[in-house]
Structure 1
Amino acid sequence: MKTLSVLLAVALCSLLVVCVPTQEKKDRIHHDKDLSDHKHDDSKDFQYDHEAFLGKEEAKTFDQLTPEESKERLGKIVDKIDKNKDGFITGEELKDWIKHTQNRYIYENVNKHWADYDKNKDDKISWEEYKSTTYGYAADEEAFYDVVDKERYKKMLQRDERRFKQADKNGDLIATREEFTAFLHPEEFDYMQDMVVTETIEDIDKNGDGVVDVNEYLADMYTPDADEPEPDWVKTERQQFLDHRDLNKDGHMDRSEISHWIRPHEYDHAELEAKHLVFESDRDKDDKLSKKEILDNWNMFVGSQATNYGEDLTRRHDEF
C-alpha cells in the first residue's frame, strides 16, 4: 500500500505540471516583468526593442533574416496591429500588440494542454473535467487516504476550486478558453488580482494574522544555515521591505501593499515601450505611425542578419 501511495503521489505531481499551484516557490509571485533581458540602450543596439516588439523567440527568428525579408515580414505585422484598418498605428494599438507578444507563451501553453482537459470536445473545460484530469481518483475525499501527503492535495484541490470559480465569470463552473487562461495564469488578468493577493498571503503569512511581516517576507526567499552570516542581498531585501514594501510603515504588508508589491502600478512596461517606438519613428509628429514611418525605421522594430550584432547565424528559422 505504501508503494501504491508513493506512485499515486508521483502521478499527481506529473499531472499537475500545468497547474499554477505546483509551481516552485520562486515562481509563485509574479512581479511586473520587463519586456527583455537586455538593457534598453539604443545607443548600443535595439535588442531590447526587438524582444519587446516581437517576443524573445520571434526576435531570434528575425535575426536570421536578410534585411529585405525582415522588412517584408514587418509589413505583415503592421497590417495585423492596425485593428481598425485606417492605415495608422496608434500608441494604444502598439501597446496592445506588445502585450500580445509578451503573453503569447501563455496562450500557447493553454492551447497545448487544452485537449487534455476538454474531454467532451465542446471547446470548454468544466470544473469536473479539470478536477478529474488533474487529481484523478484522489479527488474523491476517501481516496485521499491512499495519498502520502493527503492534506496537501486536499488543500490544493480546494484552492484550485476557489480559483476556478473566480476565473469563471458567469458562475456556471464551465470555463471558456479565456477563463481557463485566467485560471492557470491569474497574474495576467486584472479581475484575478485579488485572488493572487489572497494566495500570496496564504503562502507567506506563517502566523495566520492576515498580513506579512519582514521575517515572513524574508523567510519566503531565504532559509539560513546554522551560524551563517546574513548575505548582503538579504540585508538589501530587508531594507527594501522597510523602505518600499511597508508603505505605511506599520511593520507589515497588508493586502493593498502586497498588491502593490506583486504588481507595481507606477508604470506599464508595454505602454512605455509603445510611446518610445512612436516617439522615435513619428517623423511628421502627428502622434501616430504610418506603415511607411515604421518601415523607414524598421531596424528598431525588428532584427536581421545585418543588425543582430554578432548573434549566432546558424540557428534555423520558421516562416512567420
Structure 2
Amino acid sequence: MRAHCGFLFSVLVLGASWVRCKPAQEKKERVQHGKELSDHEHDHSKDFNFDHEAFLGKEEAKTFDQLTPEESQERLGKIVDKIDSNKDGFITGRELRDWITHSQNRYIYENVNKHWVDYDKNVDNAISWEEYKNTTYGYAAGEVEFYDVPDKETYRKMMKRDERRFKQADKNGDQIASREEFTAFLHPEEFDYMQDLVVTETIEDIDKNGDGAVDVHEYIGDMYTPEADEPEPEWVKTERQQFKDHRDLNKDGKMDRSEISHWIHPHDYDHADLEAKHLIYESDKDKDDKLTKREILDNWNMFVGSQATNYGEDLTRRHDEF
C-alpha cells in the first residue's frame, strides 16, 4: 500500500527565514478494519494468550509473563480499580470494552505523548495551530515562501491540508488543540467525527483525474505500480474483481464518497466488545452480567496470566503506571 503523507513532517529550521522540509511518510492501510486483539488463537484448551493480549495489549502482556502469580494478581487489582470508572464496585461490559480499546490503542497515546513536547513550545498543555505550523514548516511558512525547498507548491498544499485537518480536529474552533484533539489530528482514522475528512483525504490521494470519485485504475494504482514487462500478480487480478463485486456498489464503474466510506470504514465486528462479553461470561459467577473485583481476581489467570518459571529473566518492559 502506498505511503500516506501529511500526518507529520520532519523539519530542520536554520534561522528565521531558512527551512528545509522532508515528509516523514508512514505506511498506513487505507481500510480501517476492526483491529484483531491478538495474533494468538482464541483456544482455551491451549492457553489464555489471546485474552492476555486483548486485555493488556501485546507489549504489556509480555511484561506480565515475567511476573510471579502474586505480582500479577496485585497489578491486576490495580487495573480493576482503573477500569471501574464510576467507582461503584462493579465492572460492566461497557467499562471492560473501554479498557480493552484503551489497551489496544496504547501505541497511539504513546505516539502522541512522544510528539507532544516537540510542539507545545510554551508548555501550556495545549498546541496551537501556529505552534504546529512553525515547528513543522518553519517560521518562513507564515509568508508561504519555503525558502530553499525545490517543490514549494507541494509544501504549500501539504500545509493547507494539515491546517484543514487541524481545524476539523479542533472541536471548539479556538485554533488550539487539547491532547485529545491533537490525537484526532495525528490519528483521524480513530475518531468518528474525523471520518468524513478521512474520506476526503483518501479521494485526494487516489483520484488522479479529479472527478471526485475513484475508478478501478485509480484503485489499483494506489496499491500497485508495475515494473516494466512485469506480469500482473494474481492478487491484483483479485483486487480488480473485488472492486467490481464489492467496492462499486451501484455498478457505475467508480466509487463515490459513500462507497469509499464503506470501503475504508467497513462494518466489522466490534472485537473489543466481543472480548469483553467473553471475559464476563467466563468470570461472572453470579450471572448478573457484571463483574466484581473478586470475580476477576478469582479468574486472574485468564485476564493476565503469569509464567513463574521465566521470572528473573531480563524483563522486556517495565511500567510504573499500575
TM-score by length of 1: 0.87
Residue in 2 that maps onto 1:120: 122
Structure-2 change in CA distance of 1:114 and 1:226 (3 Å): same
Bigger mean CA deviation after superposition, 241-250 or 107-116: 241-250
Residue in 2 that maps onto 1:318: 318
Distance 2:69 2:204 in 1: 51
Structure-2 change in CA distance of 1:142 and 1:101 (3 Å): closer
Distance 1:141 1:28 in 2: 33
Structure-2 change in CA distance of 1:41 and 1:151 (3 Å): farther
Gaps of 5+ in 1: 1-5
- Select the residue among 198, 201, 213 that pairs with 1:199: 201
Structure-2 change in CA distance of 1:250 and 1:44 (3 Å): farther
Bigger mean CA deviation after superposition, 258-267 or 81-90: 258-267
Residue in 2 that maps onto 1:161: 163
- Select the residue among 2, 23, 26 that pairs with 2:26: 23
Q: Per residue, is there more helix in 1 or in 2? A: 1
Question: What SS does structure 1 have at the residue aligned with 2:145?
Answer: helix
Structure-2 change in CA distance of 1:241 and 1:39 (3 Å): farther
Q: What is the Cα-based RMSD across aligned positions, in Å?
A: 2.5
Distance 1:142 1:294 in 2: 58
Q: Which amino acid aligns with 1:208?
A: G
Counterpart check, 1:70 vs 2:55: no
User: Within 5 Å, which residues of 2 pair with 1:58-207?
Assistant: 58-141=60-143, 143-144=145-146, 146-207=148-209
Distance 1:155 1:176 in 2: 25
Distance 2:13 2:232 in 1: 39
How far 1:140 moved relative to its partner? 3.8
How many residues are aligned here? 306
Distance 1:280 1:251 in 2: 48
Deviations 1:122-171 (A, max 9, x none): 21111111100000044144523521121211111010000011111111
How far 1:256 moved relative to its partner? 1.7
Question: What SS does structure 1 have at the residue aligned with 2:210?
Answer: coil
Bigger mean CA deviation after superposition, 75-84 or 236-245: 236-245
Residue in 2 that maps onto 1:3: none
Distance 1:311 1:200 in 2: 47
Gaps of 5+ in 2: 1-11
Question: What SS does structure 2 have at the residue aligned with 1:89?
Answer: coil
Distance 2:316 2:181 in 1: 35
TM-score by length of 2: 0.86
- Contact 1:278/1:288 (CA < 8 Å) preserved in 2? yes
- Select the residue among 245, 250, 253 that pairs with 1:251: 253
Residue in 2 that maps onto 1:275: 277
How far 1:42 moved relative to its partner? 3.0
- Select the residue among 4, 15, 21 that pairs with 1:12: 21
